[in-house]
Structure 1
Amino acid sequence: MRNLIFLRLATRNLRLIPITALAIMGYVTAANVAYGQQDVVRIAAIVNDEIISGFDLENRVRLVATSTNSSKSPAALRRLAPQVLRQMIDERIQLQEAKKLNVRVSSREINGTIANLERQSGLRPGQIWTVLRSNNVDRSALEYQIRAKISWLKLVNRRIRRQISVGQEEINEEIARLKSLQGKPRLQVQEIFLSVDSPDLEQQIRQTADRLVSQILNGANFDALAREFSQSTTAGRGGRLGWITDSEIDQELATALSVMQPGQVSRPIRTLTGYYILFLANRRAGNSGNVNDLSVKYRQMTAPVTSGAPQSEIEAQRQLAIKVASNANSCDELLQQARQVGARDMEAIYEVAVADLTPWQRKYLLSNDIGQASPPTRTPNGFLIIMPCERTQQAAGIPSAKALEERMTRERLELMAQKYMRDLRRSAYIDLRQ
C-alpha cells in the first residue's frame, strides 16, 4: 500500500515535534491489556483540564502506523503508543495556546490540506478516507492532527515571525562558507533527532531511538517517521539534510557516516544534545551538477470552484483552466490570462530548490518546458495550474541569496518555535494515567 505523506504544510515546512515529559515512555507498555481491546473511555492523559482518551490514542497510533508503513500487530502498536502520546500531548498544548490567543482554523483550510495529502500520495480526491477506514482509523484522528498543525503554524507566524531578520552580511558569510566547501566529497543524509533534556530520561530516550531503528529496519518509512517524531528543524522535510560535507556535522555523526554504505540506517548515535538516527541515501565525490542543485521559479493559478457548486459549474471551470493552460506560453501570459478569467493565487512567482519540491511539483516543474503549463489538477478550491518560469543551476550548488535568506529565516523561526513550545510544556499540567 502506498505510504501516505502526512502534513507537508507550507513554508517548507514548520514541523515541530518536541519531546514531552518522557515519563510517558512506560505508559502503554505497562498496560496489561491487549492493544485494540482497551476501554474507549479510559483516560490516557490529562493536559491542563482536557482529556486524551484511550480511544483517541488508539486511533492516532493506527494513523501513524498507516502513514509510516509500520507493523499493525498489537505488540507493534503498543510499542508505538508512547511516542504517539507524547506528540498528542504537545498538540493539545498547542491548540490550547491557539484558542487562548484566538487563532482559528477553518474547515476549508483543513480540507485543502487533506487534498494536498492525497495529491502528494497519489490518491484520488476522497480516497484517503477509504485508506483510513481499511486500516480501522477514524477520520477524526487525521482532522485533529491537521487542525493542530495549522493552528501552531499560524500561532508561530503571528508571535515570532516579525522578530526574525537575516542581514545581507549574514547571507554573504553563508555564501562564503558554502564556496569554501566546493570540491569536497558530499553525502546525502536524512536524520531523526531525539533530545535528551535531563539525565533522568537517558534510558527512556535511548529505548525510543532503538524502537524507531527497529521500525525502519522492518519496513517503516524513514521520511514519515522523521516528520512524526524528529525534533530537528529538518523534520518537516522528512529529516533531509540535503548534500552535506562531513565538516558540517558533529564529529560523532561524521564518524558513523564514514563507515556506512548508501541505503544503510545507523544505530542511535549519542551526541552532546541527544540521539541521532541517520540514513545515508547517497555519496558523491565533489559537486557533480546534480539536478537537486537546481532552483526553479514558477507561477501558479487556480480557476475557482465554490463549495457545493453544481457539476455544470465545476465542468465550466475545468474547461476554463484547460483553455488557459493551452493558450499561455509564458509566466507573463499565464498571469494576464488568469487575471482575465478571475483566477486566484497567480500574482506571486515562487522560487524553490528542486530538493524541496513535492513529487507532484517535480513532475511538471522539471519535465515541462519553460512556459509550459501543467494540466489542471482538481483541489478543494478549484483547478490548479503550475508553470515553470526559470530553472537556474547555481554555481557549485550554492543557492541564490534569496533562497539562503528564506532558508536561514525558516531555520531561525523553527528554533524559536521549539523554545516557545518548551516554555509552554514546562507551564502545563500533565497527568499521565497508567
Structure 2
Amino acid sequence: MMHSLTRRTMTSFLRKALLGATAFALVAVTVPAGRLAHAQQAAPLGRIAAVVNESPITQADVEGRLQLAIVSSGLPDTPDTRKRLLPQVIRILTDEALQVQEARERKLSVTEDELNNALSDMAERNRMTRDQLQQALQQAGVPWSTMRQQMLAQLAWSKVVQRVVRQQVNIPDSEVNAYIERIRANAGKPEYQVAEIFLAVDNPANEQEVQNLADRLVDQIGKGANFAAVAQQFSQSAGAATGGDLGWIQQGQLEEALDRALQQLHSGQFSRPIRGAAGYHILWLRDQRTVAAGDPKNIQISLGQFVVPAPSDPNQQGALFDAVKQLGEGVKGCEALQQAASKIHGAQVFTQPLTKLGDIPEQIAGLVAGLGVGNATQPLVTDKGTMLLMVCDRVVPEGSLPPPDQVRSALFQERMDLQQRRYLRDLRRQATIETRL
C-alpha cells in the first residue's frame, strides 16, 4: 500500500527508478517535499523558456527537469547548482524536442500503451509499481509529466534510430576479421571497463560554458554524487540511458587524449574533464582485465632483442640511451628494427622463437606482456649494454578469442552510437532554436 511507504523509502525507490536497469551504487539524498512549489513561486511556469522549430519549452518544463536531474544525480540543490545546470538542461530539452519532431516528421508515433508499458517496466525493474513511482516523483518535487516526457523522447528517438540510422550501419566481414586480429595482436594487454559522461561542444562560443559544467560535475561526483545518475541526466552519448556505460575498451580504441588518460587511472577512479575532438569526456574506470579469455601465460610470443654494447666512455651513456629511445619510438615491427640496427654502431638484433609467456623470466614477461605486435619497450640499461625488447609475433590459444557474431554486435552498437550522435547534431544545426532565459 502506498501509505505504508516512508519518505526515505520513497526517495530510495525514486533514485533506483531513475537509473533504470543499471546496477550502480546510489548515494542518499534528502529531498525536501514542496521544493517545486517554491520554484513555482520563483518564476512564472507558463513562461516560454525556449522555442525549437516553433515548439515551445516552458519554464515548467525546465524546472521539472532541473529537479529530476538534481534528485537523481545527488547534486546539491542550491541556487548556484541550478544556475550552472540550466544551460545543459535546456540543451537536453531542446534535443528531446528535436527527437520527437523528427519522429513525427517520419510518421513514427509512440502510443499511450507503449509509453505506459515503458514506465511500468522501469518501475518493475526496481520492484515498485508505476503508481509508487509517480508518488515518489511527486514527493521529490518532480512532476509526473517530466518523467513521461523524458520517456516519450527516448521511445520516439529509438524508433527514428531503428528506422533511419540502423539502415545506414553495415559491418562487413573484413571489419570483423580485422577487429579479431587486433584482439589477437593485443592479447595479454590490459583492457578497461569504462563509463563516460560526454558533453558536446558544437559551438566554439560555448566552449567555456561546457568546460565549466564538466568541472562542476566532476567536483560533485568527487563529493559523492552518483556517476551513473549524473551520466543519465547530462551525458550526450547514446550510452547515457545506461549510466554512460561503454563496455570493455582496449588500449588504442579511444582517441589519443582519452586513451592516455584512461591508462593513468586505477579501478574505481574517474578522470577530470578531457577535451576530445567533439567535446568534453569524463571517464570512470570501473574495472580492468587482460585482453582475451583463458590463461595469459599460455599466450605465445616471439621477441626481438635490440642490443647496443655499453660505450667505452661512461659519459656517452646518456646520449646512447636517448638515441636508442628515439629509435624504439620510431620503428614499428621487427623487420624495421633489424634495418634500424645499422644506424647505431655495434647494434645487433636477435629474434627468439615463439615461447609461452609463462616460460619467459617473470621480469621480462612483465615488460612485454602489455605490448602489441611491433611495439618496443623503453630502453633497458644492463651491464651488457642498452637493450630494447619488441614483440615480433603473438599466438593466442584457440578458444580465447570472441566469436565473430559477438564482435559484429559490439562494432554495430559502436557505429550506431556514432551515427545517431551525428544525426542529432545535424538536426540541431538545421533547426531554428531560440532561448529566452
The interval holding the TM-score normalised by the smaller chain is 0.5 to 0.7
Aligned match of 1:301: none
d(CA) in 1 for partners of 2:170 and 2:262? 34
Aligned match of 1:131: 136
Q: How does 1:314-329 map to 2 (within 5 A)?
A: none
Aligned match of 1:249: 254
More moved, 420-429 vs 253-262: 253-262
- Structure 1 pair 271/419, CA: closer, same or farther in 2 (3 Å)? closer
CA offset digits 1:190-214 (Å, max 9, x no partner): 2122232343222122112112212
- Structure 1 pair 159/270, CA: closer, same or farther in 2 (3 Å)? closer
Which of residues 411, 415, 420 in structure 1 aligns to 2:414? 411
Aligned match of 1:428: 431
- Normalized against structure 1, the TM-score is what? 0.64
Shift of 1:268: 0.8
Is 1:116 the counterpart of 2:128? The answer is no
Shift of 1:108: 1.3
Is 1:96 the counterpart of 2:95? The answer is no
Is 1:4 the counterpart of 2:16? The answer is yes
Q: How does 1:6-405 map to 2 (within 5 A)?
A: 6=18, 37-284=42-289, 395-396=399-400, 398-405=401-408
2:19, 2:228 within 8 Å by CA — same for their partners in 1? no
Give 5+ residue unaligned stretches, structure 1.
10-32, 291-393
CA offset digits 1:359-402 (Å, max 9, x no partner): xxxxxxxxxxxxxxxxxxxxxxxxxxxxxxxxxxx944x43322
Larger Rg: 2
- Structure 1 pair 108/395, CA: closer, same or farther in 2 (3 Å)? farther
SS in 1 for 2:51: strand
SS in 2 for 1:137: coil
d(CA) in 2 for partners of 1:150 and 1:286? 35
1:233, 1:411 within 8 Å by CA — same for their partners in 2? no
d(CA) in 2 for partners of 1:124 and 1:111? 12
d(CA) in 1 for partners of 2:39 and 2:60? 14
Percent identical residues: 37
- Structure 1 pair 81/255, CA: closer, same or farther in 2 (3 Å)? same
Aligned match of 1:359: none
- Normalized against structure 2, the TM-score is what? 0.64
2:270, 2:284 within 8 Å by CA — same for their partners in 1? yes
Kindly provide the amino acid, as one letter, of the partner of residue 181 in structure 2. A
1:35, 1:74 within 8 Å by CA — same for their partners in 2? no
Shift of 1:250: 3.0
d(CA) in 2 for partners of 1:87 and 1:168? 37
d(CA) in 2 for partners of 1:7 and 1:95? 22
Shift of 1:36: 6.3
1:71, 1:77 within 8 Å by CA — same for their partners in 2? no
Shift of 1:47: 1.2
1:35, 1:78 within 8 Å by CA — same for their partners in 2? no
SS in 2 for 1:407: helix
Kindly provide the amino acid, as one letter, of the partner of residue 196 in structure 2. E
d(CA) in 2 for partners of 1:255 and 1:159? 35
Kindly provide the amino acid, as one letter, of the partner of residue 251 in structure 1. E
Give 5+ residue unaligned stretches, structure 2.
1-10, 22-37, 296-397
d(CA) in 1 for partners of 2:152 and 2:238? 20
Shift of 1:289: 6.2
1:194, 1:275 within 8 Å by CA — same for their partners in 2? yes
d(CA) in 1 for partners of 2:51 and 2:20? 28
SS in 2 for 1:216: helix
- Structure 1 pair 247/97, CA: closer, same or farther in 2 (3 Å)? closer
Shift of 1:87: 0.5
2:19, 2:229 within 8 Å by CA — same for their partners in 1? no
Shift of 1:7: 7.6
Shift of 1:128: 0.9
C-alpha RMSD of matched pairs (Å)? 2.7
d(CA) in 2 for partners of 1:273 and 1:160? 20
More moved, 253-262 vs 127-136: 253-262
SS in 2 for 1:283: strand
Kindly provide the amino acid, as one letter, of the partner of residue 108 in structure 1. D
- Structure 1 pair 136/409, CA: closer, same or farther in 2 (3 Å)? same
